[in-house]
């Protein structure tokens, strides 16, 4: 039965993991499908053989940019505008794309070098104010329209070591069309990546919706920056005032996410640092975010072995170090993929944790958002995303902040409820403990036990010593109960056995105790079950029945533990006999400490059965 239940739980958790990843993969697949069909979805003219026909394209009415993807004229190791090159192109190269390994009559090209790309835009409407720019900043470049530079980013150089990347549009000028064909030239600074991993965008910028949309995105980013800064400050102050591991881990998580967001591409418009420095902080903050999230989930109840944590921690640190080794090359995506793998490894421990379902759901959402951030970053580095990711980080960080805010409110509500309940329970438990002690240590029991021990000494010194030792252990257990609330079930069973032997010694060995213990991995209030055995011994009169016995059993079913104390003694009438002090104390202690239920079933001549059910959170 237990094996079947374990297999069922394992299958359910694996199914949850599969569903979790399926949702994320469907989301990513949808975005990549959108990416692959962007030109067709938004009716952007495709670049063919170095030309793009804008017939029927209403630039002023468009809400999105045109992606100039397709076959561009390619000039290797030439800046055709700056250097006045007049030779023809080496051939055609698709953008986004690479020249690495391709042959243009001069053998396979290496990954380094600089280049120019050229197309002609035909049938562009007159009087439209336009701009052409790239949507990611993996290198330095400048763009010309009819020989006029309209966009520049970074420090241009024919030496890759001297190329400077700022991650911003350092220069941006508008160009008003006149109805004539437009020559677009991109001059790419020296690179070690062998190509352009994103096609340029063409937008109209006069007063159209695309300009308002871009401004809105920046406003959203600025708003997210302000909200996240306030949230980080609040969490850090909370961690200082309430010094717990959970608060400290939450503060570290918030700080890591904030830094990652602050130095992402969309926030570089507001942060005056170089692109290279931003990438370094972004990589370190990514590692910090992963480590802090795992720490926080562990504090919240996620279980994993220290070996598992050690392996994933080493992988995370290794990926951050790998970033510094590979930055500037396409292989830097391996660092983002490695962090993605390290984070993904915790899906099963998270979904299999014993958190309340609602709390686990919020943590799963937070976890999924961070996974998609790393997935997008890896895809962006590899040039798999046509459209800009500028808005993604703002949306993701706001969603994460919402998750953390919900968790914060949840924890505050739970802590407040527990504090109120703790105050009430403390007063109630003190009274119950005192009554329990008075009910358990009775003068007549002490007198009878000492009398029995005296008789044992007269018959045998060894038997007397054993009886005295058991009596001392019984007194110690009662005295120690004032300082402990909950103890392992196994320890309570030992207390019961010790007490039973004392009573059996007094009864001349006529008592019979049966044990059917099937599980012990739970706790009970100290000396809470002994009064039940005492009642069975004192009132059950099992010694007067043939094959009389007292039985103690424990079993587990799902998330519930069941304890039974029964006898086949004389029993009693539940309607006419009121529960004694021992039963009442035991009931209150189990209800207040473990929120457990206790049911007493008895009938005259049929014995008594007391069932206690403890339901554990899953």
Q: pLDDT tens digit string along 482-526? A: 556 788 898 889 888 877 887 787 777 788 889 999 998 888 887
Q: Does 352 score more than 70 pLDDT? A: yes
CATH architecture of 463-615: 2-Layer Sandwich (3.30)
How far, CA to CA in Å, does 545 sit from each of 63, 569, 610? 92, 7, 20
Nearest to 82 by CA among 169, 158, 194: 158
pLDDT confidence tier of residue 105, bands split at 50, 70 and 90: confident
Distance separating alpha carbons of residues 578 and 572, to the nearest angstrom:
10
Beta bridge partner(s), residue 132: 202
Distance separating alpha carbons of residues 276 and 613, to the nearest angstrom:
61
**pLDDT number for residue 552:** 93
Q: pTM for the full model?
A: 0.52
Distance separating alpha carbons of residues 362 and 360, to the nearest angstrom:
6
**pLDDT number for residue 211:** 46
Strands (E), 457-531: 486-488, 513-517, 523-525
Q: Does 1 score more than 60 pLDDT? A: no
Hey, where are the domains in the chain? 44-207, 221-416, 463-615
Helix axes 530-540, 489-506, angle to 10 degrees: 30
Nearest to 351 by CA among 303, 400, 419: 303
With H, G, I as helix, E, B as strand and everything else as coil, classify residue 149. Answer: strand
CATH number for 44-207 (one of 2.60.40, 2.60.120, 1.10.1060, 3.30.450): it is: 2.60.120
For 175-208, the pLDDT digits (tens) are 888 888 999 999 999 887 788 877 888 887 654 4
Q: Does 368 score more than 90 pLDDT? A: no
Q: Tell me which residue has tokens 């949702």.
A: 23
Q: Does 32 score more than 70 pLDDT? A: no
Q: Does 444 score more than 60 pLDDT? A: no
**Long-range contacts of residues 155-159, Cβ cutoff 8 Å, at least 24 apart:** 155/189, 156/187, 156/189, 157/189, 157/190, 158/77, 158/114, 158/189, 158/190, 159/190
DSSP assignments along 232-280, one per residue:
HHHHHHHHHHS--HHHHHHHHHHHHHHHHHHTSGGGGGTS-S-HHHHHH
Fold of 221-416: Rhopdopsin 7-helix transmembrane proteins (1.20.1070)
**pLDDT number for residue 38:** 66
By DSSP bridging, strand 66-67 and strand 607-615 are unpaired
**pLDDT number for residue 274:** 63
**pLDDT number for residue 230:** 66
Mean pLDDT calculated for residue range 12-21: 65
Q: What is the mean pLDDT of the chain?
A: 76
pLDDT confidence tier of residue 210, bands split at 50, 70 and 90: very low
**pLDDT number for residue 145:** 93
Range scoring the smallest mean pLDDT among 93-102, 272-281, 334-343: 272-281
Beta bridge partner(s), residue 176: 129
Compute how many other C-beta atoms are within 10 angstroms of the C-beta atom of residue 283. 24
Q: Does 329 score more than 70 pLDDT? A: no
């Amino acid at each position: 039965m237990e094996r079947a239940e374990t297999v069922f739980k394992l299958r359910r958790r694996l199914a949850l993991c599969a569903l979790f990843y399926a949702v994320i993969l469907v989301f990513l697949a949808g975005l990549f499908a959108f990416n692959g069909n962007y030109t067709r979805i938004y009716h952007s003219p495709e670049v063919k053989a170095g030309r793009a026909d804008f017939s029927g394209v209403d630039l002023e009415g468009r809400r999105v940019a045109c992606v100039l993807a397709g076959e561009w004229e390619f000039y290797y190791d030439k800046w055709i505008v700056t250097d006045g090159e007049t030779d023809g192109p080496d051939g055609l190269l698709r953008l986004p794309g690479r020249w690495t390994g391709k042959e243009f009559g001069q053998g396979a090209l290496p990954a380094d070098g600089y280049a120019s790309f050229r197309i002609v835009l035909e049938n562009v409407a007159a009087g439209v104010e336009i701009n052409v720019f790239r949507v990611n900043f993996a290198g330095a470049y400048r763009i010309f329209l009819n020989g006029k530079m309209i966009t520049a980013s970074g420090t241009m150089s024919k030496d890759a070591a001297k190329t400077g990347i700022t991650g911003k549009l350092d220069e941006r000028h508008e160009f008003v069309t006149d109805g004539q064909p437009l020559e677009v030239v991109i001059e790419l600074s020296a690179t070690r990546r062998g190509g352009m991993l994103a096609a340029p965008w063409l937008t109209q910028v006069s007063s159209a919706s695309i300009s308002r949309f871009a401004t809105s995105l920046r406003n959203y980013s600025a708003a997210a920056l302000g909200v996240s800064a306030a949230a980080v400050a609040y969490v850090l102050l909370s961690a200082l005032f309430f010094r717990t591991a959970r608060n400290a881990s939450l503060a570290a998580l918030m700080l890591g996410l904030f830094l990652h967001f602050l130095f992402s591409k969309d926030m570089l418009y507001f942060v005056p640092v170089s692109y290279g420095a931003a990438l370094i902080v972004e990589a370190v903050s990514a590692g910090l975010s992963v480590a802090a999230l795992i720490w926080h989930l562990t504090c919240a109840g996620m279980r994993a072995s220290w070996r598992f944590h050690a392996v994933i921690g080493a992988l995370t640190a290794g990926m951050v170090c790998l970033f510094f080794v590979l930055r500037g090359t396409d292989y830097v995506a391996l660092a983002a993929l490695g962090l993605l793998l390290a984070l993904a490894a915790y899906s099963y421990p998270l979904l299999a944790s014993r958190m309340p379902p609602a709390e686990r759901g919020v943590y799963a959402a937070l976890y999924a958002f961070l996974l998609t951030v790393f997935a997008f970053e890896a895809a962006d580095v590899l040039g798999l995303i046509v459209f800009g990711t500028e808005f993604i980080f703002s949306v993701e960080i706001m969603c994460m902040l919402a998750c953390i805010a919900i968790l914060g409110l949840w924890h505050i509500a739970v802590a407040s409820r527990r504090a109120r309940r703790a105050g009430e329970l403390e007063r109630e438990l003190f009274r119950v403990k005192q009554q329990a002690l008075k009910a358990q240590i009775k003068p007549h029991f002490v007198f009878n036990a000492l009398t029995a021990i005296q008789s044992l000494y007269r018959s045998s010194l060894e038997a007397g010593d054993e009886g005295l030792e058991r009596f001392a252990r019984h007194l110690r257990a009662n005295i120690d109960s004032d300082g402990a609330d909950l103890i392992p079930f196994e320890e309570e069973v030992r207390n019961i056995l010790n007490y039973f032997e004392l009573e059996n010694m007094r009864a001349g060995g006529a008592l019979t105790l049966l044990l059917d213990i099937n599980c012990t991995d739970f706790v009970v209030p100290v000396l809470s079950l002994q009064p039940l055995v005492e009642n069975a011994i004192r009132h059950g009169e099992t010694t007067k029945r043939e094959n009389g016995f007292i039985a103690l059993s424990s079993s587990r079913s799902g998330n519930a533990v069941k304890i039974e104390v029964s006898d086949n003694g004389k029993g009693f009438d539940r309607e006419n006999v009121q529960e004694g002090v021992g039963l009442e104390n035991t009931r209150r202690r189990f209800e207040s400490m473990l929120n457990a239920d206790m049911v007493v079933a008895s009938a005259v001549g049929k014995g008594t059965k007391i069932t206690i059910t403890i339901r554990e959170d899953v």
